[in-house]
Structure 1
Amino acid sequence: MRYRVTILATLFILVAGIDNVRATVVVKPLGPMRVEVIPANLTIVIGDTQPMQAFLESFRGFQQPQKHRLLTATWTSSNPAVATINSSTGLVTAVAKGVTLIRAQSGPFRGTTLLTVTPQLNSITVTPAGQTIPQGTALQLTATGNYADASTADLTGQVTWASTDQTIATIVPGGLATASSNNTGGTFIQATYNSVTGQTGLTVGPAALVSISVTPKNPAVAKGSPQQFTATGTYTNSSVNDITSSVTWASSDMNKATISNTGVASTLAEGQTTLSASLSGKMDSTVLTIGPAVINQVQLGSHDAGTIPLGNTYQFMATAYYTDGSTLDVTSNGGTTWSSNNQGVATVSAGLVTSHSQGNNIQITASYGGFSDVGTISVGPPALKSIAATPSPVTIPNGLTQQFTATGTYTDNSTQDLTNSATWSSGSPGAASVNSAGLATCKQVIDGITITAISNSVTGPATLNCGLPNLTSITVTPANSTIPNRTTQGMVATGHYTDNTMQDLTFLANWNSSNAAIA
Structure 2
Amino acid sequence: MKFTAIGYYSDGTNQNIDSRVDWNINNLYTAYNVGSGYLNGLNKGSFKVSASLKGITSNTLDVAVSEASVTAVHVTPLIATFPKGTHEQLTATASYSDETSQDVTASVTWRSYDTNVATVSKDGSLSAVTPGYADITATIEGIESRAITAQVTSAEAKSIQVSSNIATIISGQTIELSVRATFGDGSIRDISKAVAWVSQDNTIVKSTDRLLLKGLKPGNTSVKAKWGTLLSQPVNITVSGAILTGIEISPPYIVKLIKGNSAQLKATGTYSDGKKYDITQLVQWSMSDANNKGIPLVAWVDNQDKVHGAKEGNTEVSAILNGVTSAKAMPITVTRAVITDMTIAHAPIKMQANQEERLLLKSVATYSDNSTGYADYINYRSSNPEILSLSFLGDYTILTAHQAGTASIIATSAQDHVNSEPLKVTISN
| Shorter-chain TM-score range | 0.3 to 0.5
Relative to its length, the structure with more strand (as a share) is 1
Question: Which of structures 1 and 2 has the bigger CA Rg?
Answer: 1
Tell me: higher relative CO, structure 1 or 2? Use CA pairs within 8 A at least 6 residues apart: 2
| TM-score normalized by the length of structure 1 | 0.33
| TM-score normalized by the length of structure 2 | 0.39
